[in-house]
Copies of this chain bind each other. A is one copy, B any other.
Amino acid sequence: MRGPGEFEIIRDFFAGAKKLSEGVVVGIGDDCALLKPPAQGLLATSVDTLVADRHFPADADPAAIAARALRVNLSDLAAMNAKPLWFTLALTLPESDADWLREFSRGLLETAELFGISLVGGDTTRGPLSVTIQVTGSSKLPLRRDGARVGDGIYVSGPVGAASAALPVVLGQAAAGHEREEARRAYYFPEPQLALAAAIGELAGSAVDISDGLLADLGHICNASRVSADVHMESVPVSPLARQLAGENRALELAATGGDDYQLCFTVPEKHWSALEKLGLDIARIGTIVPAEGNPGVRSWLDGKPWSPTRSGYQHF
């Protein structure tokens, strides 16, 4: 049987998104969405594509695919300290499958509601399964990558290594007992650090979200800021799930280089350290920004000795 057509897909599965939030003048259904941005602050916008069998198994739970696609993008807003406003969805599907679409749209719209962001437009095309989401937010105190300065403390917002340790379980390549559900949540339902970003917005000098791996993403801050970083691996909060799934030594490697956790890595100048401490956040200081001396980069140490992971951060090509 022929599945729903393009217009039926929009009407039947994404119409729930027609509940317009503030600033959305025209949502789904015209040539463009019409939007009224907040009078104050800047707009922050980011786009990510998830490709089947590269970023998720093609037969994964559609609601989980949708949740992950939106959460990953919201993490980019968190990294800039931007409040979510609206997003678009470009969905490419091999066939029009009403059951799949029902679950996907449920996962998407539930996630959107949870984080207070409105679906305002999109495109559906036929082709190999992929999901492209673009989020837009508003930021009065944007956190950029180029604001790290020598002497700043380097922090992570929470445990890292869980998502990459979970990946073999999610892909069905590794067995897991009671950790299975936790692994699924770690991979498909990362927590965008929006509240934390808002809390540190006035104190932090730079921030990045950890999508490619802690050391690789901190390297982006170093390159943009023309500084280097000393990281003390014994201070890095290693995810207990990563320890359980991968063992102590491998877990440390995954904490350093595994992507997909979507914690924030950020720098705070010394003058703000006491204010940061007073916030009582569950964060970890992992190192210090140092002079680049020509070549910006990240040096990692374990118990006072140079330490190197056996593999570097995730790259798409």
Which of A's residues lie within 8 Å of B, judged by CB? 3-7, 9, 25-26, 29-37, 42-52, 54-55, 76-77, 79-80, 82, 88, 90, 92-93, 96, 120-128, 130, 132, 134, 136-137, 139, 142, 144-146, 207-209, 224, 315-317
Contact = CB atoms under 8 A, between A and B. Distances in A.
B134 A31 contact: no
Given A121-B45, A121-B46, A125-B51, A80 B30 contact: yes
A72 B207 CA distance: 35
B124 A5 contact: no
Given A5-B317, A130-B92, A130-B130, A122 B47 contact: yes
A234 B245 CA distance: 71
Number of copies: 2
Contacts of A142: 26, 34
Given A26-B144, A32-B79, A4 B317 contact: yes
Contacts of A123: 47-49, 132
Nearest to A125: B49
A90 B92 contact: no
